[in-house]
Every structure is written in C-alpha cells, then in structure tokens.
Amino acid sequence: MNKQSKCKQMLKGGVVFICVLALTWFILLRNENIVELLNVIRRVKLPYIFIALACMGLFVLGEAWNIKRCLGIFGYHKNIFQTIKYALVGFFFSSITPSATGGQPMQIYYMQKDKVSISHSSLALLIELSSFQVVSITFACIGLIGQYNHMTQYIGGLRYLILLGVFMNFMILVIVLIFIFSKRLSTVLVNGVVALIRLCRYKKVEQLEEKLYSHLQEYQESATHLKNKKGIVLQILLTTLLQVAALHSIPYWIYLSFGLEQYSLWTILALQSVLYVSVSAFPVPGAMGVSESGFVLLYQSLFPAHLLSGAMLLSRGVSFYIAIVISGLIIFGYSLVKSRDYSLKKL
C-alpha cells in the first residue's frame, strides 16, 4: 500500500465514519432531553470513569504486548512503543472501516515501513487475531449460557441475531486457524477463492492467483515456527484473556459510577461479551448503531430507565469514541513527525 492509497483509504473511511456516526446519534438521541442527559452524566463518580479509561488503556497495551511476542517468534525485536503504535493503528482503522477490514492492512503497512516482511507481519497478526477470537468466543459462549434466561426475557427474537453473530465469529476463527495450521485445507480454500474470481471474469486473475499462492506458501513456512513456541502461545492467550476481560468490564465501572450495586461484575461481563461478539461482524464502521442499540436492549434491566442512555453514552464513549480520538491524534502526530524528518533529510 503506497502513501497515496493510504491517504485515500483514510479519507474514505473518515467520511463513512462521520456519516454513520451522525445517523447513529440522531436516531438514538432524537427523543432524549439533552439537558437532562448531560445532568445525569455530570453526577457520575469520576474515580470509576478513570478505572474504565484505564481498562481501555490495558486493552490497547495487551494487544501491543501480543504483537511484540508474535513478531518475536519470527526474530523481530520491536520495542513496546513501536508495538503500541501498531495496536493504535489497528484500533483506529478497524473502527472507521466496515467489519474492521481496514485495521490489519494498515498494521501491515506500518510494519513494512519498519522493515518487517509482509508474510511475517501477516502471520503475526493472524496469530494475534486467532488468540483474540478464541478468547472472545469462549467469553461469549459462557456468557450466553450463564445469562440466557435473562437475555431472552428482554431481547426476544433478537437472540437469533446473537447466535448468528457468535456463529460468524466462530467461522472467522476456523478460517484463520486453517490458514495458520493446515496446508491442505488452506490450499482448498485458496483454490475455491480463485475459482470464484474466475467465474466473475476478473481480468487480473492470474496475477492475483500467483500472489495468493505465494503468500500461502510463506504463511505455511512461517507457521512451522509455532510448533516450538508453545510457551509463547500460552502467554499470548493469557494476555488476551486479561485484555478482553478489561474491555468487557468497562460497562461495570460505568454501572458503579452511577452508584448502582445490585448486579455483579460477572453478570455485566457475560452480557458485554455476548454483545461484543454479536455486533462485531456487522458491516458498519465500529459496529456503530448496532452496538448502542444492543446496549440499550441488553442493559435495560440493569440500569434505571432515566440512566440508561447516559450509561450507554459513557460506556461507548470510553471503549470506542474517546479511544478513536486519542489513537487518531497519535497516528496523525506520528505521521507529521515522520514527514518532517523525511523533508529534513532531503534538504
């Protein structure tokens, strides 16, 4: 990906993101008294909000540590500040593109700038993604079983949508694991994709086929490194466990910030894990709209009616909107510094 296409992707993603954001908040807040909503938010206990923000920071740091470990498998010794940059890039571009499709390509682009080969960066991110999917789906399945009666009481037929979300994420995990560990099945998948592209009469199918098989071979060669790295894989899984728990605990700290204590951390972790997996595959940037609507549906029995919109706003604000602003500013600042350094070198 060259600089021009990167800028085009950023601009296109930004426009789509702003349009979806405006539509989402117009729909959600059109019947709300904004003054009362702001008064509700102003009365929260700030220490719990800071804990929620710290949990979001822990989520990003966990991904950075896992990327560092994954790259280390292939002999790249990046410092934590570099991998935090990759984690922020992934979060930002995943958030502004439908179904989080822009995150990994941009991470690969930034890693390539730091002299990490595409095959190694791709496989490192596949390992990190598979770990995240394993933990997220496990959390969601446990949450779905533990809170099934509670959820079906309030969401009715939408439970089928939740089951669909869990199934879609499970299929994504299966495909990722196949590409990492199964040479035969991954070849079958690539053959199927190529055959489908041929049916669509794509003009550059031969070049695309060559590139796909080349990357597949590199993945399979690189995957052999994992066989002797079981300890590191276990560390990655444990870090992901803490990372996901921190992310899903954010609504609990928001719950406590309103002075509410009836429901436990486990209850909210269970509900949030199901909500996260259910909406993550929706083809809208950051699952906007569906995440907020799902929050209102699932948490309507936990929060009093007059606090529910404020709780949703704070929870999504901490776990999504504030994080986007911060990551976007950091990436923009980094790009400015690198551009200035490049200009100075040319003088």
pLDDT per residue as tens digits for the range 167-196: 887 887 787 777 767 777 877 887 787 777
pLDDT at 277: 85
Side-chain half-sphere CA neighbours of 175 within 13 A: 9
In a domain, 32, yes or no: no
pLDDT at 56: 96
In a domain, 276, yes or no: yes
How many domains, in total, are found in the chain?
A: 1
pLDDT at 294: 82
pLDDT in tens, 304-344: 988 998 899 899 999 988 988 898 888 888 878 776 655 55
In a domain, 132, yes or no: yes
CA–CA separation, 36 vs 135, rounded Å?
39
- pTM across the whole model: 0.83
pLDDT at 246: 96
pLDDT at 292: 82
Going by C-alpha positions, the residue among 320, 250, 304, 321 that lies closest to residue 49 is 250
CA–CA separation, 190 vs 213, rounded Å?
8
Domain that holds residue 141: 3-14+45-166+227-346
In a domain, 197, yes or no: no
Over the chain, what is the mean pLDDT?
81
In a domain, 86, yes or no: yes
